[in-house]
Structure 1
Amino acid sequence: MSNDFAYDENWASIYEQFTSIRGRVAEADETAAFLERYCRGGSALELGIGDGRVAVPLSERGVRVEGIDNSDSMLKLLARRTGLITTWKADIGDFKSEKRYNLVYCAYNTLTVLVTREAQISCFRSIIDSLQDDGTVVIELPVPDVGNFIGGQRTTTTLVDGENTFLTSELHDPLSQNVVSTHLWFTGTSVRSLPYRCRYVYHQELDTMAECVGLKLAERWGDWARGVFTEASRRHISVYRRAGL
């Protein structure tokens, strides 16, 4: 990820709870099942491996999973969870690997943490250098939602339940496709301020960046259960292979 943002201790200390509330922990097994078909009995590299939310269930399916992350705090969480996954600290926008993998994947919205187009294309270059000739690349991204900004700003309530309230304040720069946000998490009598910055990417632009390094779109789905990707989809899972295969 870029040097502009890392999941520091403030994020790491609540990451599992945060992703659980957002429904991401519950779908981890479904994600692993989707990914396994592209590397069954082989190897996989996760970009932005975090606490191993996806990597651990994928490894339990017999895949040799390795991963990189730019956050020491997140890598420590994974190390406490399992010692069976090899990891190293690196920037996903410019990493080197001596190995070649059957699958390279980037889940959730991790690619968008690279906040320039150049950094995102550089990530694709690193991916292609780490991929077996017949390997597969899988990237999950949200469909950009840039409506309802007034003067480049908006504040939304993203979740309210019996114990938690999430408010998100955002600043939008359409020229750079950057959104700088702060999540305010109210629970009980406490409040956490969680900063975040991203560069959103439309799926057509993602395809173009992939084509720049010799990849082509093979499949696109609306979710990890292989739902159809439509104009109403809020995210997509895009599958790429080398052009010519």
Structure 2
Amino acid sequence: MNKEFSYDDNLASTYDKYTGMVGKVAEADETAAFLERFSSGRSAFELGIGNGRVAIPLSERGVKVEGIDNSDSMLKLLAKRTDLIKAWKGDIADFSSEQRYDLVYCVYGTLTLLFTREEQIACLRSAAAALKADGILVIEVRVPALDGFVRGQRTTTTFVDHENTFVGAEIHDPLNQNLTSTLLWFSGTSVKRWPERIRYIYPQELDTMAECVGLKLAERWGDWARGEFTDVSKRHISVYSRAPSQSRAADFSPCGV
């Protein structure tokens, strides 16, 4: 991930408040409950573990959780919250682990922060290599919402209360499936700027990318409560297992990357 778009100390320190305001902290227990059935009492590895929003409630369910993140600031926040989770700095597009896990998971659209298809497939390949033979990979990403762009630009207001306003400005590059955006957070008299750059992924495309590394779709849901995934869903939670004929995912790459 481009360092220009990584969490600095200022953004990391406000992450808890931001995720709480948009409902992601309240959702963490539901996420952990979903993930627990693939790792109950066993082992899990999180890609982009951040401050432990999901990893901590999952570990409290008896799962041994480890993870990586590219942000020193977020890892420091995690270390302050718990000493039960082993996490280290790393690039989710290119990592290796001697240990094999029952579950590898990547939530909140973290996979799309990798800005090229090649990096995203490399991440999936690394994740597949970290799985046990019967391991499971879980990915949460947003369904691309591309309405409202005018000449490749869009401005939206995503949250308003008596004190805070979130205004998002985005530029769309459809040829590369890229969105470059800035969230402006107005709170009282202060303004915070939160830049982000993603490569969005269509659900069927993610399935094909998973096939490139020897994985197949096992389940797809519209939310962590296992609601149905439909044509109006805003995100999907996709569950992948190893393809039957593939004993080693790294040996299977029909996509040529």
Q: TM-score band (shorter)?
A: over 0.9
Match of 1:207 in 2: 207
The within-5 A match list for 1:41-190 is: 41-190=41-190
Following TM superposition, where does structure 1 have runs of at least 4 consecutive aligned residues deviating by more than 6 angstroms?
Answer: none
Q: 2-side partners of 1:34 and 1:238: how far apart?
A: 12
Determine the C-alpha separation between the residues in 2 that align with 1:66 and 1:168. Answer: 33
- Partner residue of 1:237? 237
Q: Is the 1:2–1:92 contact (alpha carbons within 8 Å) kept by the matching residues of 2?
A: no
Where 1:25 maps in the other structure, the secondary structure is helix
Distance 1:166 1:122 in 2: 33
In 1, Cα distance between the equivalents of 2:94 and 2:17? 30
Q: Tell me the amino acid that sits aligned with residue 172 of structure 2.
A: H
Whether the 8 Å contact between 1:2 and 1:93 is mirrored in structure 2 is no
TM-score, length-scaled by structure 1? 0.98
Residues 171-197 of structure 1: per-residue CA shift (max 9 Å, x gap): 111111111111000111111111111
Query: What SS does the aligned partner of 1:97 have?
Result: coil
Q: Deviations over 1:34-91 (max 9, x none)?
A: 0000011110000000000000000000000001000000000000000110001000
For residues 78 and 15 of structure 1, the distance between their equivalents in structure 2, rounded to whole angstroms, comes to 12
Could you tell me the TM-score, scaled by structure 2's length?
A: 0.94
Number of aligned positions between the proteins: 245
RMSD across aligned C-alpha pairs, in angstroms?
Answer: 1.0
Point out where structure 1 has 5 or more consecutive residues left out of the alignment.
none
Whole-angstrom CA distance in 2 between matches of 1:55 and 1:238:
18
The 5-angstrom pairing of residues 188-203 of structure 1 reads 188-203=188-203
SS at match of 2:5: coil
Measured in 1, the distance between the counterparts of 2:176 and 2:86 equals 35
> Identity over aligned residues, as a percent?
68
Quick one: distance in 1 between partners of 2:84 and 2:71? 19
**Distance of 1:4 and 1:221 partners within structure 2:** 33
Cα displacement (A) at 1:167: 0.3
C-alpha distance in structure 2 between counterparts of 1:69 and 1:103, whole Å: 17
Could you tell me which runs of 5 or more consecutive residues in structure 2 were left unpaired when the two chains were aligned: 246-257
- Tell me how far 1:5 sits from its aligned partner: 2.8
CA distance in 1, matches of 2:178, 2:208: 19
> Would you say the 8 A contact 1:154–1:169 is kept in 2?
yes
Per-residue deviation, residues 128-157 of structure 1 (Å, max 9, x unmatched): 110000000000001101111111111000
